[in-house]
Amino acid sequence: MSVNEKPRVLVTRLIPDVGLRPVLQECRAEVWEEPLPPPRDVLLEKVAGCEGILSLLTERIDAELMDAAGPQLKVISNFAVGFNNIDVEEATRRGIRVGNTPGVLTEATADMAFALLISASRRIVEAQEYIRQGNWKTWEPLGHIGQDLAGKTLGIVGMGRIGHALARRCHGGWDMRILYVDKFRNEAAEQDFDAQRVEWSTLLAESDFVSVHVDLNSETEEMFDRDAFVQMKPTAVFVNSARGPIHNQQDLYEALVGGEIFAAGLDVTNPEPLGLDDPLLKLSNCVIAPHIASGTVSSRNGMAEIAADNLLAGVREQPLRCWVNPN
């Protein structure tokens, strides 16, 4: 195939080599190598004439961008399992394939959710800050008292792959009782961990830990608002490693300050990145990470491989390995 016959694609950030290499070999690829995302006007320029886009969750892929790309655009391959940054309905209407990267980040994300759960419960970050500020003078019988984990109740919101992997950790390792809410019944979780599918209000009232593992969509946006937080136990820990807009951040702040809940562990915030003046950063009972749940070697390599496969299959008009809109 001559260079000019190769499909033109845009890769919106540097991704691991295992994915970038085949794309560079098989396509006329432009790669945005800056650490920050391309500004919107630059992105709109760069997609013009492309048959494929390998995008990140930081890029809004909507009708305007599809128009800017042109009618030859065949595939949008997202380097993420979540695809709330893409207008999938619009892509489908135009016959554009959309791909994502499920599976390969399940264990890493469940690890992160658990890390946040235990850090927030046992006040680990706050305790480190206490040392750094020179406050550690002696062993304190009444200092830094956190929440127990063993035998407690974990409420999982969205019992998909990641919810199941977190339940496996908490039930197997900490003997937790597992409650969940989901549109669908998860028989494997019910068999494996005796998980009980319950009403939303039951999950909120009975859980010691509530961990979010749903997609962001119009039904889940701000499902954790004031009304939800006040139904939770004052000793409860809220964990979000899914998407920031699933919680209302002002309501979360007020719940943490007002003692409606004990603590929160967040890998995702609204907005992202969080401004340095954001009030959440001032709270000792909120542990925050910069959206790094999939940040392990095997997860990111796996994501790169799938995203590249999806992109190459899409420009060849073949079925995608992980296809969001096959129908």
The site for ligand DGY (CB under 6 A) is made up of: 57, 80-82, 105, 294
Q: What is 263-326 written as a DSSP string?
A: EEEES--SSSSPPTT-GGGG-TTEEE--S-TT-SHHHHHHHHHHHHHHHHHHHTT---SSBS--
Which residue lies nearer to ligand DGY by CB, 61 or 204? 61
144 annotated active-site = no
272 annotated active-site = yes
Let me know how long the chain is: 327
Closest CA to 179 of 197, 165, 166, 204: 197
Q: What is the rounded radius of gyration, in angstroms, for the C-alpha atoms of the chain? A: 22
Which residue lies nearer to ligand DGY by CB, 81 or 120? 81
Which residue lies nearer to ligand DGY by CB, 81 or 311? 81
Chain centre to alpha carbon of residue 286: 18
Which residue lies nearer to ligand DGY by CB, 76 or 255? 76
243 annotated active-site = yes
Distance CA 253, CA 148 (A): 23
Distance CA 277, CA 279 (A): 6
Q: How far is the CB of 120 from ligand DGY (least distance, A)?
A: 19
Q: How far is the CB of 75 from ligand DGY (least distance, A)?
A: 18
Distance CA 143, CA 198 (A): 36
Q: Do 268 and 242 contact (CB within 8 A), yes or no?
A: yes
Residue numbers annotated as active site: 243, 272, 291
